[in-house]
Structure 1
Amino acid sequence: MQHEATDTKAPESQAPKSAEGLTRAALLGLCGGILLGGLFLLGVGLKTRLSPADCTGLSEMECGFRRDADLEMGRLQVIMGSGLLALGAAVVVLLRSRARAASS
């Protein structure tokens, strides 16, 4: 009976560490997704801004509108992609600094 009692206490003492590790792993996974999404959005925004608009079959006014819309959409994508990259990097740095402080 005593052997069973010590076995039940051991997982309880490990529970806070495993919950902390699970939370940290989930946050790092989320940061990875944010970083990849930001990188993708930044790439698409740069491609949208740098590639010329395809104006086949459009009038001059429609082509100008399309170019302006593409430039603005590309600008917005670049800004949002950069913001996501900065946010993901900041959370990764925050998690790493907390892990170092806890281990010291």
Structure 2
Amino acid sequence: MDNFMGQLLSQKDSLRGSTTGTFIAPFNQGVRTSFSAVHDHAEVAVKVVRERERHFFATYQLVSALPITIAECVASIGGVLGKRFEIKRVPFEQAADMFVKITYGVDQGDEMN
């Protein structure tokens, strides 16, 4: 969920006066998927680490939202933001390069120190 939210929220202020934006997707927007948030996973990880023994030999099922399409997710977030987002599908390699640049501030071919 975080990758979707970040991409859409980053356009919120830059779209002032405009009601449309663009969501870049490296995959088919009609495929159903479930979403979860990194923050939720982090909270659980911290709890398990802090409570150590209580969780020894335990197993936990990950849960998320019911499966929805990428288009439905983007439309839902757009509705909350009061914007409509066009979904532009790009080749996976291009999307990977964009993700690396966003995450590390460098192109995938650059050396990461």
Q: Which bin holds the TM-score, normalised by the shorter protein?
A: under 0.3
Query: What TM-score comes out, normalization by structure 1 length?
Result: 0.24
Q: Which has the larger radius of gyration?
A: 1
More strand by share: 2
Higher helix share: 1
